[in-house]
C-alpha cells in the first residue's frame, strides 16, 4: 500500500513538473513573440537583440541599485562632518544642474501628435506637413528654455546639455533613444511664462497648429521629470586650471 502511494506521489510530481515547464516556456515564447517564418539569420539576430536588451535591462537595474547605495553611503559618511556636508550639498546642486536627479515642480505639459487630416480628405496637402518632425520638437524645446524652463523631458527622455534631437526615419531619436508620436513634452518653470512663450502670436505652437497638428497645452501644478539615464562623459573637453 505504501509503495503504491509513493508511486502515485512520484507520478503527480513528474506530470506537474512537465506541464509546469511547458506552460512557462509557452508563456515566455508568446511574450517575446517568436512567430512566423523568420529565416535563420533573422531569428538569430532577433535572438541576439533580445539577449542583449535583457542584459542591458539587468545592468541598468544594477546601476540604479548601486547609485542608491552610493547615496546612502555618502549620507552616512557626511552626517557628522559639517565640512563634508557642505561638499555633499555642492554635489547635489551640481547634479541638479546637470540633470542627473529626478525633479518636480510647477510647469507645463504639451502633447504633440500627428495631424488627423489625411490625403484622402484633402489631396492637395503636403504629407510632410502632417507629421511631427525633429525640428518641431527642437523648436518647442528651444522656446521652453528661452522662457526659463529649468528641466525639460520628451517622452521621458531628459533634455540635458549634450542631448541631440535627430530624425531617424519614421521615429525621432532623443538621447539616442527612439521615440514616436504622440510626443509628451514636460517642462518645469513658471507656468504662465512657459505657456505664454509657446502660444504667443506667431509663436512656435501657432505655426505647428497652422499645419494641422494636434496640440494640447496644459499648465501643471506639479510635474515630475525623470533624470538623465545615461552617463555624461567628456573625452576632449578638459578644465583649464586656475580659472
Q: Which residues form the interface with another protein (CB under 8 A)? A: 4, 7-25, 27-29, 31-32, 50-51, 54
- 3 state DSSP class of 84: helix
From CA 112, how far away is CA 90, in angstroms rounded? 37
- Residues sharing a CB contact under 8 Å with residue 113, sequence separation 6 or more, in sequence order: 132, 181, 182, 183, 213, 214, 215
* Minimum distance from residue 21 beta carbon to another protein (Å): 5
**Pick 21 or 182: Cβ nearer another protein:** 21
Look up residue 130 and give its DSSP letter. Answer: G
**Pick 7 or 70: Cβ nearer another protein:** 7
The set of cell numbers assigned to 209 is 497648429
> In the sheet where 157-159 sits, what is the strand order?
157-159, 151-154, 183-188, 103-113, 214-225
**Pick 47 or 206: Cβ nearer another protein:** 47
**Pick 50 or 171: Cβ nearer another protein:** 50
* Minimum distance from residue 51 beta carbon to another protein (Å): 6
**Pick 21 or 196: Cβ nearer another protein:** 21
Q: How far is CA 173 from CA 40, 113, 162, 164, 182, in A?
A: 30, 16, 13, 8, 14
* Minimum distance from residue 4 beta carbon to another protein (Å): 8
* Minimum distance from residue 44 beta carbon to another protein (Å): 11
* Minimum distance from residue 2 beta carbon to another protein (Å): 14
DSSP β-bridge partners for residue 113: 214
Amino acid at each position: 500500500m505504501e509503495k503504491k502511494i509513493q508511486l502515485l506521489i512520484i507520478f503527480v510530481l513528474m506530470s506537474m513538473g512537465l506541464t509546469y515547464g511547458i506552460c512557462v516556456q509557452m508563456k515566455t515564447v508568446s511574450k517575446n513573440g517568436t512567430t512566423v517564418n523568420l529565416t535563420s539569420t533573422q531569428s538569430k539576430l532577433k535572438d541576439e537583440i533580445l539577449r542583449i536588451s535583457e542584459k542591458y535591462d539587468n545592468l541598468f537595474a544594477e546601476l540604479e541599485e548601486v547609485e542608491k547605495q552610493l547615496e546612502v553611503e555618502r549620507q552616512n559618511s557626511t552626517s557628522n562632518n559639517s565640512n563634508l556636508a557642505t561638499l555633499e550639498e555642492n554635489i547635489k546642486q551640481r547634479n541638479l544642474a546637470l540633470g542627473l536627479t529626478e525633479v518636480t515642480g510647477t510647469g507645463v505639459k504639451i502633447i504633440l501628435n500627428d495631424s488627423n487630416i489625411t490625403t484622402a480628405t484633402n489631396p492637395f496637402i503636403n504629407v510632410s506637413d502632417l507629421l511631427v518632425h525633429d525640428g518641431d520638437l527642437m523648436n518647442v524645446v528651444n522656446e521652453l528654455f528661452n522662457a526659463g524652463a529649468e528641466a525639460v523631458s520628451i517622452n521621458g527622455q531628459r533634455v540635458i546639455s549634450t542631448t541631440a534631437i535627430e530624425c531617424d526615419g519614421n521615429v525621432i531619436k532623443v538621447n539616442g533613444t527612439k521615440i514616436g508620436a504622440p510626443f509628451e513634452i514636460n517642462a518645469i518653470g513658471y507656468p504662465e511664462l512657459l505657456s505664454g512663450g509657446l502660444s504667443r502670436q506667431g509663436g512656435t505652437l501657432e505655426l505647428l497648429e497652422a499645419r494641422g497638428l494636434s496640440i494640447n497645452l496644459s499648465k501643471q501644478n506639479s510635474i515630475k521629470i525623470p533624470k538623465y539615464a545615461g552617463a555624461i562623459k567628456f573625452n576632449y573637453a578638459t578644465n583649464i586650471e586656475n580659472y
